[in-house]
């Protein structure tokens, strides 16, 4: 859904998350039509569409890199030897991706 905002009060009314539910894009139609206003509109719209996927991918990649370095860093490869060990690795990586998504 797209919404056109004509006053600062309408913009302030969008502060609560519940007021932004279903909103995908805004258009600022304020009296001051400057370049700064267009930039603010782009920043707000980018924030509306942010889902945290990029940060989740970064956390996951760093976790995989750290685990790979630790597996190959010792005297011999230290890969998990059981299904339970592999499930633990997958669980840690999923947890890192989730934390990254929440942070993002």
Residues 15-32: tens digit of each pLDDT: 887 888 888 888 888 777
CB 49 within 8 A of CB 24: yes
3-state DSSP helix/strand/coil % of the chain, to nearest 5: 65, 10, 30
| pLDDT, averaged across the chain | 84
User: In whole angstroms, what is the distance from residue 101 CA to residue 10 CA?
Assistant: 29
CB 104 within 8 A of CB 52: yes
The pTM of the full predicted model, rounded to 2 decimals, is: 0.57
DSSP state of 19: G
User: In whole angstroms, what is the distance from residue 16 CA to residue 6 CA?
Assistant: 18
Q: What is the pLDDT of residue 46?
A: 81
User: Predicted confidence band at 74 (pLDDT cuts at 50, 70, 90)?
Assistant: low
Q: What is the pLDDT of residue 24?
A: 84
User: In whole angstroms, what is the distance from residue 63 CA to residue 44 CA?
Assistant: 31
Residues 35-48: tens digit of each pLDDT: 888 888 888 888 78
């Amino acid at each position: 859904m797209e919404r056109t905002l004509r006053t600062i009060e309408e913009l302030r009314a969008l502060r609560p998350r519940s007021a932004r539910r279903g909103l995908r894009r805004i258009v600022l139609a304020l009296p001051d039509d400057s370049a700064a206003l267009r930039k603010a509109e782009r920043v707000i719209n980018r924030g509306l569409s942010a889902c945290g996927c990029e940060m989740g991918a970064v956390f996951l990649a760093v976790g995989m890199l750290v685990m790979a370095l630790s597996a190959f860093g010792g005297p011999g490869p230290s890969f998990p030897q059981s299904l339970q060990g592999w499930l633990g690795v997958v669980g840690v990586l999923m947890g890192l991706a989730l934390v990254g998504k929440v942070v993002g």
